[in-house]
Amino acid sequence: MSFAATQDAREQVRQATDIVDLVGGYMPLRRQGRIFVGLCPWHDDSRPSLQVNPDRQSWKCWVCNVGGDVFSFVMQREGIDFRESLEMLAQRAGIVLPKAGRDRTSTSGGVDDKTRLYEICAWAERQFQECLTKSPDAEPARKYLENRGIKPESRSAFHLGFSPDRWQWLVDRARSAGYSPELLEAAGLVSRSVESNRHYDFFRGRVLFSIRDAQGRPIGCGGRVLPGNDDPRKYVNTRETRLFSKSEHVYALDMARDAISKSRVAVVVEGYTDVIMAHQAGLKNFVAVLGTALGPRHIRLLRRYADSILLVLDGDEAGQRRTNEVLELFVESDTDLRVMTLPEGLDPCDFILRNGAGAMNDLLSGAVDALEHAMRVRTAGIDLLRDTHRANQALEQLLGILAKAPRVSADDTSAKMLRERQFLSRLAREFGVEEGVLRTRIVELRRAAPSPHRPVEVTPEPVRVSVGEVPPREAELLEILILHPELVEEALASLTLEDITNRHARAICEVYRELLSRGAEMSFGEVLAYIEQPHLKKLLVDFDDRGQSKEPLASEDAASRLRGLVRDMHLERQAAESSRQVVSLEQRRFDAEQEIAVLQQLLEQARKRQGITGPTEG
């Protein structure tokens, strides 16, 4: 796709999306003068901190230090990247985006068309939900949910459903609605018989838990057999499709996202009913894994919304066996991963039903990090001072897990090195062994297992930047570019990127230069739409707000001020270069001929600064 088509699509979507209407669809807003305000969803806000400017089509929260345009709001709110936000807003506005190129895996309207797959999943969810609510066939399913303590309002909120125990119930309904069996198969809703090549319902006879992505779009199902069914597979999930992967999604994130964003803590359990019961009891930051262990991709997803992840393990033997994998994940991903084990024999659903939300919160408050949890499990019943053999075995197991983590090298950050030292220091205190001995043993274990280590995906920390970090002259330059787009060409013709010292200011100027070279408009909205990085969008909004709050300059006055800024920035750059040259002279880095040339250059620069145009007499 060409630049013109891309930028035109962005601008078309931006202009079609009113920011007050967009933000107001997520939260209540009220007018306050020329702007709108609301309670920020990303911190515990009691006084409205979120401000929406309809004139500039921008938003910001002063407390969270975030802001931008319609794209960055959706990115922040939904935890998605720029392209996904563009697609989401385009769909909302009814705009068809130009394709980035022919996708060999996708046929428009066919079984590989993601839009079509989203459509069929949403349709199937409605069929299953209606069946659970109205069909006589679903009476045993309704009784099961009632016995589990799940209320009708929770059934509705979580879009629970039922698939009758018939081979082609969904297949037949889909044909009547104009959907092919092949499309149902591509969405993971039906299977195909090897013998007869006929399609049949995959989830027949099961209570269905709708699996949705973080944006609330149905992407699959989890099905549970009813009591008395002799199927050995108690739970089955939609198989891997273009929309659904059990290693990349968690259950009920769309329901829990707001609570997680506010508390900055995500609580991860293992079952659908565990999550539903938690939410029903008011514990809204609970999600569940989907038939697999918590993994690096889940961590990456949850860290979009949470600073800490708290894993709740069932109080049975299987829960205890997961200690090693949890600790390995904790060490590898550099995540604040905490662990809480329930009393023996209970799962979260049963515990909340018996003891209530308060008791669950008390247990969660006592959660420990994964290393502490592993040490407690490994040393349970061991006298570390007297039973040296068993203590050494436990220590070896823990060191073996730590040794699997990526090796800390000289190129690593000090924070990463500190983290490993803290681990070893804690083990040294617990087992009464010198830290140096443990470090030596870690090296030995790593040498004994040289196999390449699988990479771990970790979400990078969001970039935070404020206007105060930008030098005053460069800050004023950005304000002029934003408020006086007619001066952009003159400014960029007079400056090089080397004249701008702050990397964020330089990145914004690069955007202006790119748009100018392509003949695009220099309006604030156009520039804001072109920028994809949330921190740069926010910085541009900050400078716009600051510039708007000042006494406006006429175009002639702004041009005069711009020329003064350019002159001062050139002189500042020359002074810095002169200082470097003086240091080089003092350290005798030049030969005699080079020294003379450098001295003449320094003298010429000094004359220019004093307004002397040539050599003087005398």
Domains for the chain: give ranges and CATH numbers. 3-93 (3.90.580.10), 104-244 (3.90.980.10), 246-462 (3.40.1360.10), 467-571 (1.10.860.10)
Mean pLDDT of 491-504: 87
Dihedral angle of Cα 287, 290, 291, 295, to the nearest 10 degrees = -80
Confidence band, pLDDT 50/70/90 cuts, at residue 618: very low
Q: Which range, 201-215, 298-312, 493-507, is most confident?
A: 201-215
pLDDT recorded at residue 212: 95
pLDDT recorded at residue 353: 92
The two beta strands, 218-225 and 368-369, are unpaired
The overall average pLDDT reported for the chain is 84
Alpha helical stretches, state H, 94-163 = 114-134, 139-147, 152-157
Residue, of 278 and 387, whose pLDDT is higher: 278
Which segment of 64-73, 241-250, 340-349, 584-593 scores lowest on mean pLDDT?
Answer: 584-593
Confidence band, pLDDT 50/70/90 cuts, at residue 179: very high
- Which parts of 443-587 are beta strand (E)? none
- Tens digit of pLDDT for each residue in 29-39? 999 988 999 99
Confidence band, pLDDT 50/70/90 cuts, at residue 444: confident
Cα(138)–Cα(206) distance, integer angstroms: 9
Residue, of 402 and 71, whose pLDDT is higher: 71
pLDDT recorded at residue 598: 57
Confidence band, pLDDT 50/70/90 cuts, at residue 70: very high
pLDDT recorded at residue 617: 42
State phi, psi for 505 to the nearest 5 degrees. Answer: -65, -40
Mean pLDDT of 401-412: 62
**Which residues, 6 or more positions from 294, have their beta carbon under 8 angstroms from its beta carbon?**
268, 309, 311, 326, 329
pLDDT recorded at residue 583: 59
Mean pLDDT of 305-311: 90
pLDDT recorded at residue 449: 67
pLDDT at 365 over 90: yes
Distances (CA, A) of 260 to 220, 287, 306, 307: 23, 10, 6, 9
Confidence band, pLDDT 50/70/90 cuts, at residue 46: confident
pLDDT recorded at residue 495: 87
Burial category of 137 from C-beta neighbours within 10 Å (exposed 0-12, middle 13-18, buried 19 and up): middle
Alpha helical stretches, state H, 315-404 = 317-321, 323-333, 348-365, 370-379, 388-403
Q: Which of 125, 140, 137 is nearest to 170 (CA)?
A: 125
Confidence band, pLDDT 50/70/90 cuts, at residue 616: very low
State phi, psi for 60 to the nearest 5 degrees. Answer: -165, 155
pLDDT at 414 over 50: yes
Confidence band, pLDDT 50/70/90 cuts, at residue 386: confident
pLDDT at 456 over 80: no
Residue, of 524 and 601, whose pLDDT is higher: 524
Confidence band, pLDDT 50/70/90 cuts, at residue 316: low
pLDDT recorded at residue 142: 96
Q: Which range, 1-15, 373-387, 394-408, is most confident?
A: 373-387
Q: Which of 269, 310, 311 is nearest to 290 (CA)?
A: 269
Dihedral angle of Cα 8, 514, 487, 560, to the nearest 10 degrees = 160
Q: Which of 357, 322, 355 is nearest to 339 (CA)?
A: 322
pLDDT at 287 over 70: yes
Q: Rounded to a whole number, what is the distance in angstroms from the first to the last CA of the chain? A: 67
Q: What percent of the chain has pLDDT over 70?
A: 83
pLDDT recorded at residue 496: 84
pLDDT recorded at residue 556: 85
pLDDT at 457 over 80: no
- Tens digit of pLDDT for each residue in 222-264? 999 998 887 888 899 999 998 999 988 999 999 999 899 888 8
Which segment of 143-152, 176-185, 300-309, 595-604 scores lowest on mean pLDDT?
Answer: 595-604
Confidence band, pLDDT 50/70/90 cuts, at residue 289: very high
